[in-house]
Amino acid sequence: MKSLIWKEWRENLKWVPLPGLVILLVFLIEKPDEPMLSTTDAYYFCLTAVVFGAALGFLQIFLEGHGDKRAVLLHRPLSPTRVFLSKVLAGAALYLLAQGIPFLLLEKWYATPGNMAAPYHWRTSFPWLADILSGLVYYFAGMLTAQREARWYGSRGLAVAAAFFCSYLCGRCPSFGRRSWRSASSAHW
């Protein structure tokens, strides 16, 4: 299983710099003056996480999903579950690496005194962190979309619809406060 994880890592490592370059480009175009990201920045960071997660998951399965590559992969002395698990471990690690490096570098820049006129608070990074974690849902949606052999307009796109629903629920979250959703919803009764 280790060799399969390293194979996936080597094949897909080339995609890791792409989201960092997009985030750097957006950051250089619209350099923020305050720690809270503007709506434009937050939109592009969310879009980067979503597109990169879905594309990485799709490419990881689709490029090996046809012909002899799939046959060689499934005739290894591993169960199909372990093959899938090794793809998921490598892909999720690459996704988190690709999104985590720009996140940590930008948060370090925000936290450095003198870079902005406003003070920095670590809670301002929660929305972007939520976007990064919701991008994992799009990663699995991309994997499932590439894996299913069905029509594009049928059940193959159902995973992407579920991912959009997850994004809708993240967008409906009013804040990242101390109260949980359950206690906040029961307070209205």
Q: State the pLDDT at residue 39.
A: 59
Contacts of 157 (CB under 8 A, 6+ apart): 145
State the CB neighbour count (10 A cutoff) for residue 64.
Answer: 20
Contact 38, 121 (CB under 8 A): no
The pLDDT assigned to 187 comes to 47
Alpha-carbon distance 63 to 101, whole Å?
26
Residue 116 near residue 32, CB atoms below 8 Å = yes
Residue 94 has what pLDDT? 94
- pLDDT of the residue at 138: 93
What local confidence, expressed as pLDDT, does residue 185 receive? 45
Mark the ranges of the chain whose per-residue pLDDT is less than 50. Answer: 179-189
- Quick one: pLDDT at residue 184? 45
pLDDT at 66: 66
Phi then psi dihedrals of residue 135, to 5 deg: -65, -25
Indicate the pTM of the whole model.
Answer: 0.79
